[in-house]
Amino acid sequence: MFESLTEKLTGALRSLRGTGALTEANMADALKEVRAALLSADVHFTVARDFIARVQAACVGQAVLKSVSPGQQVVKIINDELVKLLGEGTTELAAKRPLKVLMVGLHGSGKTTSTAKLGKLLKKKGARPFVVGCDIYRPAAIDQLEILAKQEELGFYSDRVTKDVPALGTTGLATALAQNADVILFDTAGRLQIDTDLIEEVKKLKAAVTPDEIILVADGALGQEAVNVAKAFHDALGLTGLILTKLDGDTRGGAALSIKSVTGVPIKFIGVGEKTADFEPFYPERLASRILGMGDVVSLVERAQENIDQAEAEKMAEKLRKADFNLEDFLAQMQQVKKMGSMQSIMGMMPGMSGVQLPGDAEKQMKRTEAIIQSMTIQERRKPSLLNGNRRMRIANGAGVKVLEVNQLIKQFEQMQKLMKMMKGGNQQKMMRQMEQMKRRGGMPGF
């Protein structure tokens, strides 16, 4: 997320971060670079200008130049100002139950996907979400929502015959309440542009279901355009929050950075990938530290907690400790990691890793490793040494890979096993040597 902005900002701040003496001149230079970085990330120029002015004022006010570690302090000030820009204050949905949420936005912005993602997230938190498909213009849109609702086990209602959207909304709401749902999400139709028909229809739906939250789903990759879209929707409907989607792509960050200060509407969630798990509550503090290249370990841990089975994880850790971790366990673990979302989105949360682009085939590689293990019998997964040449060939055929890849996986796995035995034995020196060797040979299997 925001790789190029992060890169430019860390570049600009690197010179300041050091302990060296900070002068007004080199601080001005660094701030000029910061401003350029913001502008090239498509941040609105008035937002960038005000931002720099505030940072400058804060630096003077806090007598940065005379402080013990001036560079660090400037970074801290920039961080704080970024947090303000991204929107201090509450970014949570209203706590009211039942809660009615209207999802609006342009065509293809991610409304339907985000409706399911939000449902999933709320369900994890113990709510009983229900989704209502109000996009009557494309039957496929209703199907899309229904499939996602089934997948995430959310309540669902729609009507493929009616032409009356407000009536559909009302019936959907009644159905949801009758089923004891406590959060009702209305997915609406998108249009190519903000046209009056669209707005009129959503207004009628709003009047019919009286939502507590009106959330605009906006494509974060649109940059400044997303800010204009948000303004238009806000004027017409009175938004209570925003979901910025597609922040995983080559988004430059402009929308995320300008939208709150221009519209005053808080970002509440962000979409960071196509999978339903690639969705997070929006925390300005965390995004600020991600933008400044400091990672976001808190979000990473939360995502792990939400998507990884705790009991399973403990069992795995125990197996690792006892050096009794076989390919079957490895497969199970890979599947757990996959639940956390795409590899690239996980990487972006690790300190210092945000700029690291995974090789395009990292996910593919993981799938191949999975296919290889899946082609083995249970006995073989538990004891790969059983695999002779003939079996390796069959497995390669079964998984659609070369025998060489099967051999590599087994070889790497045997090394990992050796490593686990050493950990168990507590021989650290030997372990480090083994790890070095593994690194040279291309890392852990599957990665």
Nearest to Mg ion of 141, 148 (CB atom): 141
Amino acid identity, residue 142?
I
Find residue 102's DSSP bridge partners.
186, 214
Q: Alpha-carbon distance 130 to 314, whole Å? A: 33
Q: Flag whether 247 is marked binding.
A: yes
What x/- string results for residues 319 through 338 when contact with ligand GTP is judged by CB under 6 A? --------------------
Nearest to ligand GTP of 212, 278 (CB atom): 278
- Establish if 113 lies at the interface with ligand GTP (CB under 6 A): yes
- Establish if 185 lies at the interface with ligand GTP (CB under 6 A): no
| Ranges within 252-281 binding ligand GTP (CB under 6 A) | 271-274, 278
Give the binding range for Mg ion (CB under 5 A) out of 136-144, 251-259, 300-308, 319-327.
Answer: 136-144
96-126 in b/e form (b: 16+ CB < 10 A) is: eebbbbbbbbbeebbbbbbbbbbbbbbbeee
Q: Flag whether 63 is marked binding.
A: no
The total of other beta-carbon atoms located within 10 Å of residue 321's CB is 12
Mode of pairing for the β-strands spanning 267-271 and 241-245 = parallel
Return the one option of Mg ion, ligand GTP, none that residue 248 interacts with (CB less than 5 to 8 A, by type): ligand GTP
Nearest to ligand GTP of 206, 392 (CB atom): 206
Q: Flag whether 105 is marked binding.
A: yes
- Answer for which of 41, 141, 154, 181 binds Mg ion (CB under 5 A) is 141
Nearest to Mg ion of 42, 187 (CB atom): 187
For residue 193, with 0-12 CB atoms within 10 Å meaning exposed, 13-18 middle and 19 or more buried, which class applies? exposed
Shortest separation between residue 188's beta carbon and Mg ion, angstroms = 8
- Establish if 91 lies at the interface with Mg ion (CB under 5 A): no
What x/- string results for residues 112 through 131 when contact with Mg ion is judged by CB under 5 A? x-------------------
- Establish if 248 lies at the interface with ligand GTP (CB under 6 A): yes
Q: Flag whether 368 is marked binding.
A: no
DSSP string, 76-114: HHHHHHHHHHHH-S--SPP--SSEEEEEE-STTSSHHHH
- Establish if 240 lies at the interface with Mg ion (CB under 5 A): no
Distances in Å between the Cα of 2 and the Cα atoms of 8, 80, 223, 294, 366 are 10, 18, 12, 13, 25
What x/- string results for residues 71 through 110 when contact with ligand GTP is judged by CB under 6 A? ----------------------------------x-xxxx
Query: What's the CA angle centered on 277, arms 3 and 303, to 5 degrees?
Result: 75
Shortest separation between residue 258's beta carbon and ligand GTP, angstroms = 19
Nearest to ligand GTP of 212, 248 (CB atom): 248
Q: Which of 338, 337, 317, 325 is nearest to 413 (CA)?
A: 325
For residue 205, with 0-12 CB atoms within 10 Å meaning exposed, 13-18 middle and 19 or more buried, which class applies? buried
Q: Is the sign of the CA dihedral 309, 99, 149, 345 positive or negative?
A: negative
Distances in Å between the Cα of 28 and the Cα atoms of 12, 25, 84 are 11, 5, 21
User: Under the rule (CB under 6 A), what is the footprint of ligand GTP?
Assistant: 105, 107-113, 135, 141, 190, 245-246, 248-249, 271-274, 278
- Which residues carry a binding-site annotation? 105-112, 187-191, 245-248
- Which residues carry a binding-site annotation for GTP? 105-112, 187-191, 245-248
